[in-house]
Structure 1
């Protein structure tokens, strides 16, 4: 199968206790509750077609070094890294010993990471209690299927905004600045980037650049003391836009994916992870991708 055939948002069947737009059960296979969610859109045909984007064979790292978030928020522990000298064991060698919270640097949110804050359920109806005592929906499910490989599209909103507003400081990365769908679409048009079902959406809002340039006290303010973050707007319009695109996964360069804090009536984390089973990548360092893309004739954002 190349593409899945999805109902229009308004034609989706009602799932008891869930908002209109829930996809539970749609991706179940042979009567077994699905645990991969939108990653099932990464069919062999979709992945094979992604190779057509390759022009130079250049590859870059998108992970941000683990030590960057010195002041984690939400009670999370910072990186603890020690080097063990194995000379005492009779070897000329060293080991690394590392302890950290995976949410404090580049990572994927699995479908087990975040549930509905109002109903206490996760993707496809698992309850908090059920997941606490099982390995269902864990991130190992993504690994077992062979990881996440496909056509990634970069929506470089920050560069678009600076192009449209020369000489003006962009919105603060540690404000709850909401990026509307109209600006995501404008960025795609500016880049000449088209979206396809099964793409991996990656939005650059500017958080990593801000953090890399900020002084320690300001970094602490932005990551631990307060929790205001720039990002795509939490709105019905964004929900419908994301659904219409049928991305296999989404990611960005911020803590989370959407503007934070979210309003009571809409949280993209819940729509993506809970309602559709769409993994979220966070705190990706996109600088090398941008640098590499600008050296290709015409630029490349996929």
Structure 2
């Protein structure tokens, strides 16, 4: 990206900050992590109640900060009009883990029933078995059995509260995407990367080194996307290797679940986070240490987690253009009370 273009974008960002009272993304002024009001039964750092309005409990979470000024500022990432879809094909996970059913499609010849040449199809998908968003009722704080903003597990099983429809009714997820191409950075500076189906923890230091190498700066309200190599591994693996890696073992690469990671993520106020791996964080988490990222992102802050996104073409386009930021749109399936959804995500340059 030229220096002139960077300067112009920074000016637009400054204008957006002015329009939103000094904090791009919303009129909300986030307290420091240690200054957040204590929520009974939850660890220090919970945002429950922060986005509540007029006595109504919030069900949207950090997507609240994607206000029009932020989206308008993000739109200036569009320069060439080139675009990449980030959904893996629905059939791609050949052997879904966690006892989930695989994708199936039935093609229907309507000529046999309606006497005209036409086709329908019927699909079965488990929304956690491929590229996905986790909604705010997907994962509870395991110690308290509560989801975002205090929804109990029992309430979650019988209500639509915190469902993914809330994001749809707000207009989907639209903002500035930032690719943190950890895999390319690692291969450039350290050589052969760790196995994608090992429990390798990507550290905050690694993320910061990658951002520095790319010349990329994150902003509040960004949708931060980490490329770790899981999709690339799956694309190149044999059927036997896929089955062993996805069904016969339960480990996967991802961001380290540590206090440092939690505080780093909080301080950057991302609207959402995404990875190309099974669970965004290194899996399985160490629940006993208290830093499971699913519990912090989904449960304590209401931050959507994207998993198993296909970042291969995106990585190449970013490298070709020498910039790792872009306009991002995502239209989840509009399902009342939905727990997960393919992202319907497109990066536009």
Which residue of structure 1 aligns with residue 241 of structure 2? 218
Which residue of structure 1 aligns with residue 254 of structure 2? 231
The offset of 1:33, in angstroms, is 0.4
- 1:135, 1:299 → 2: CA distance? 40
Q: CA RMSD in A?
A: 1.0
Which residue of structure 2 aligns with residue 148 of structure 1? 173
In structure 2, which of residues 128, 133, 136 is the aligned counterpart of residue 111 of structure 1? 136
Which residue of structure 1 aligns with residue 230 of structure 2? 207
What does 1:1-302 align with in structure 2 at a 5 Å threshold? 1=20, 2=24, 3=26, 4-89=28-113, 90-165=115-190, 168-264=191-287, 265=289, 266-296=291-321, 298-302=322-326
- 1:228, 1:76 → 2: CA distance? 16
Which residue of structure 1 aligns with residue 14 of structure 2? none
TM-score (norm 2): 0.84
TM-score (norm 1): 0.97
Secondary structure of the equivalent of 1:114? Answer: coil
Does the 8 Å CA contact 1:191/1:301 hold for their aligned counterparts? no
Secondary structure of the equivalent of 1:288? Answer: helix
- 2:241, 2:325 → 1: CA distance? 31
Secondary structure of the equivalent of 1:196? Answer: coil
- 1:289, 1:277 → 2: CA distance? 26
The offset of 1:201, in angstroms, is 0.6
Runs of at least 5 residues in structure 2 that lack an aligned partner in the other structure:
1-19, 327-349
Secondary structure of the equivalent of 1:60? Answer: strand
Runs of at least 5 residues in structure 1 that lack an aligned partner in the other structure:
none
- 2:199, 2:29 → 1: CA distance? 35
The offset of 1:112, in angstroms, is 0.9
Question: How many corresponding residue pairs?
Answer: 299
CA deviations over 1:146-183 (Å, ceiling 9, x no partner): 00000010000000000102xx3210000000011000
- 1:274, 1:179 → 2: CA distance? 22
- 2:116, 2:167 → 1: CA distance? 37
The offset of 1:19, in angstroms, is 0.4
- 1:293, 1:186 → 2: CA distance? 17
Which residue of structure 1 aligns with residue 343 of structure 2? none
The offset of 1:287, in angstroms, is 1.4
- 2:82, 2:42 → 1: CA distance? 44
The offset of 1:301, in angstroms, is 3.5
Does the 8 Å CA contact 1:155/1:301 hold for their aligned counterparts? no
Secondary structure of the equivalent of 1:7? Answer: coil
